[in-house]
Structures are given as structure tokens and as C-alpha cells.
Amino acid sequence: MDIISTAKAHGGVQGVYRHRSRTTDCDMTFAVFVPEHEAGEKLPVLWYLSGLTCTHQNAMDKGEYRRAAAEHGLIVVLPDTSPRGDHVPDEPDNWQFGSGAGFYVDATQEPYAENYRMYSYVTEELPAYLAVNFPADTSRMGLCGHSMGGHGALSIALKNPDLYRSASAFAPIVRPTVAGWSKPALEKYLGRDPRTHRAYDTCLLIEDGKRFAEFYVDQGTADQFLEDGLRPQLLRDACEKAGIPLTLNMREGYDHSYNFISTFMEDHVAYAAARLKA
């Protein structure tokens, strides 16, 4: 593991690291905040999954999670959003696909299947790597994410209810199989058969019988993508039909930016901490 940088913050350490991933067949960069703790102590983990065009850097610089994570004693991990490198296939002029837009899926279509395996990277390889290299208790993990990362957090939780104890999201894409900014990407990664897309659609996973204990979602009413791509009412309807408790906060006047996320980030950290430390 290469240590790119470390800095003290709120008594803990904010680090940025790089390692060679066997899952994505490229070097992957990720950020980890480890709060102050006793020697030998293992801490619960909150995963923050970023959205389209982002890296670990966006939330690390603008997410304002460290004070709350230090207060609650949580490790916060910020993976990248996709594989990167000269050998990784990409569409540089398309911000909705490829580098920066991995959608937390395991691609099955060439030429993307070899590298775009972000679902397995986030759920299998990186947690195992974290447990070896950091004081992380990977039996106590929660998920949080924004936009595409919100889709990742909710869909991953539904498919792995035994791995995660909490799941929350900021402005998640709840029906990526039909949203205009995500459906084309799923077709390139997974093929044109819509049946192969269902495993990465929160509402369809619920329709197909997947369950999670509860969800917590914040959504800005001034979000420019609210009606076209996000449509939180579809998640509300799916959860009501399935009996999944959902807290859906419609935040008046907030948009899709990190001004919105940073305002409510401490609520999401506290929500996760209450479930990871119970």
C-alpha cells in the first residue's frame, strides 16, 4: 500500500492511500479517516460512496464528516467511483459513463468486464484490505452515498443485509434502469437485456423480494435532477408496499451539491453510529 498523504484531523488521521486491485486490474486510490482510539481497539466502519464525476477527493474536501466521525468513533472510508488508468476503457467526453461513473456494478460486457467491477471491489476486496491494514471491525459496517453512490449504498445494502447494519443516502438514483443519465451506462456495462439490470435497481430489488431493515434518505427540493433522474417518490412507494421503514427528508431549497451534503452529513454519521454501535 502506498501512503499518498496523511494529516491529523479532530484527533484522528485522515489518510489517502493507493493499492493495486486484483478486482479492477488497476491501481485504486481511496481515503480513510481513522478517529483517535485505544491501542488494539477495532472500530466500526462507514462507507461513503460518491456520485458521478467524483473521486474520494470530493467528500474528503467538502463532506464535513470528520468531526462527527471522531465524536462517534467511526472509521470513514471513501473509495473511488471507478477504475482508472491508460489501459482502462473509457469515454473521456461522456461524464455519465466510464471513468468517474462506475455505477457500483460488475460489468459483463466487453471491453468493460475486466476493469469495471466496482460492486465486487467495494463489497469484497476493499473491506478485506481494510481489515488487514486498519483498525477496522468489518463485522460492523454501514453504507452512505450520494446520487450514483446513493444508488450504490441502497442497492448494495438490499443484496447484502447480513454485511451492513445501516444504509443512508443523499439524493439517490432509485430507478437507474429507467433514468436518462444511468440507463445508457447500464446497457454498456451489462448488455441490453433489461433483466440483467434489475440487480442494480433499488426499487426493482425491493420488487423482487430483497429487504433491508430500514433506510434513511435526504433529498433537496431544489435538486435539478429531482424529477428526471432521482424520483424519490418511487422509493417511498416501493418501501411502503414492502413494509421497509423509510425516513425520507425532503429538504426545502437544497440542491444536488456538496453544500447540501455537508449540511446534513453529521445526521447521516450519527444515524450510522447508532446502528453500528448498538
Q: Mind telling me the catalytic residues?
A: 147, 223, 256
The C-alpha atoms of residue 71 and residue 50 are separated, in whole angstroms, by 23
Amino acid making up residue 22: R
Sheet holding 12-21, edge to edge: 2-9, 12-21, 26-34, 75-78, 43-49, 136-146, 166-170, 215-220, 246-251
Tell me the helices (H) and strands (E) count for the chain, helix number first. 9, 9
Cis before residue 111, ω within 30 degrees of 0? yes
Q: Give percent helix, percent strand, percent coil of the chain, each to the nearest 5.
A: 35, 25, 40
Q: Residues with Cβ < 8 Å from 127, sequence gap 6 or more?
A: 45, 136, 138, 141
* Longest CA–CA separation in the chain, Å: 51
The rounded distance, in Å, linking the Cα atoms of 159 and 205 is 8
> Per the structure block, which three cell numbers stand in for 250?
425532503
